[in-house]
Amino acid sequence: MKIATFNVNNVVKRLPNLLAWLAEAEPDVVCLQELKTAQPAFPAAALAAAGYRAAWRGQKTWNGVAILARGAEPVVTRAALPGDPDDDQSRYLEAAVDGVLVASLYAPNGNPQPGPKFAYKLAWLARLARHAGTLRREGVPVVLAGDYNVAPTDRDIYSTRSWAKDALVQPESRAAFRRVLAQGYGDAIRAVHPQAPCYTFWHYMRNRWERDAGLRLDHLLLSPDVAARLRDAGVDREIRGRPGASDHAPAWILLDRAPGARTRVKRRR
DNA sequence: ATGCCTAAATAGTTTAGA
């Protein structure tokens, strides 16, 4: 089972790039962020033609998250992050797919900091940590996938100097990310690649892609039962270099079959 | 301290992204 997360930076504008990647990478489940599309404008028909059924929560101009499943219906369990009824930004969607609870999340960027946007980011991540703890206590297999807008350590950024004041690398942002992990989750990319940078984002500005001046902002956090099934993980970085690309590249995990899972047996005739 | 890119919108400059 292959689960991927991809900040598409406008799912309508980026649809050809998305479809090409789906055909090549063949993920079973995809978490999308930054749809930047109102709910009715989501390209559900084009994705269905590609073999994916979808659940999504759109929003005009900004934000927006989706979960795609190949040949299966994602069963939505939550369409908002608990903890603030007044938060109407489309940043969280959660669905059950093939025995795994998958969350597609888009944490606030938080710039400029300090300020109200940074406070919203930290509060949002605190809500995520609380909810991540709730899911652990429910004992279900969980994958929290998305754009956390946090480079967790200095290894996750090409140079700390030019980003020193950025919300993505602040100690408070990193502590907020660690509090999610502390609920009992593992960082899948780092588990497989402890040393390699594994950037997932390269800014459009200043030839950051050509210079490989990236950041690792997109993460897949796994509950222990899912982590035990982790066979491989990676970043499809070449996607970032294509014409009309998003500024993010997809990150993915490959899971072994769940222990005790029913195997499909083809009857011989 | 700001520009640097990219994109959308009570658009023709402003706001947001990260």
CA of A53 to C1' of B15 (A): 33
A111 strand B contact, CB < 7 Å = yes
Question: Where on the phi/psi map is residue A70: left (φ > 0), alpha (ψ -120 to 50), or beta?
Answer: beta
Could you give the C-alpha distances from A14 to A42, A155, A211, A250, in angstroms and in order? 12, 29, 23, 13
SS3 A57: strand
Specify the pLDDT at position A262. 67
Specify the pLDDT at position A263. 65
CA of A13 to C1' of B2 (A): 29
Break chain A down into helix, strand, coil percent, rounded to 5: 30, 25, 45
Could you give the C-alpha distances from A205 to A31, A133, A198, A202, in angstroms and in order? 26, 37, 20, 8
Specify the pLDDT at position A100. 98
- Tens digit of each residue's pLDDT (9 = 90 or more) over A83-133: 999 999 999 999 999 999 999 999 999 999 999 999 999 999 999 999 999
Euclidean distance between CA atoms A36 and A38, whole angstroms: 7
Nearest nt by C1' to A217 Cα:
B18
Fold of A2-255: Deoxyribonuclease I; Chain A (3.60.10)
Which residue numbers in chain A have pLDDT < 70? 262-269
Specify the pLDDT at position A162. 84
Structure tokens given for A262: 């029913």
Cβ burial, residue A260 (10 Å; 0-12/13-18/19+): exposed
Structure tokens given for A138: 């429910």
Domain layout of chain A by residue ranges? 2-255
Euclidean distance between CA atoms A218 and A30, whole angstroms: 13
Specify the pLDDT at position A267. 64
Nearest nt by C1' to A111 Cα:
B18
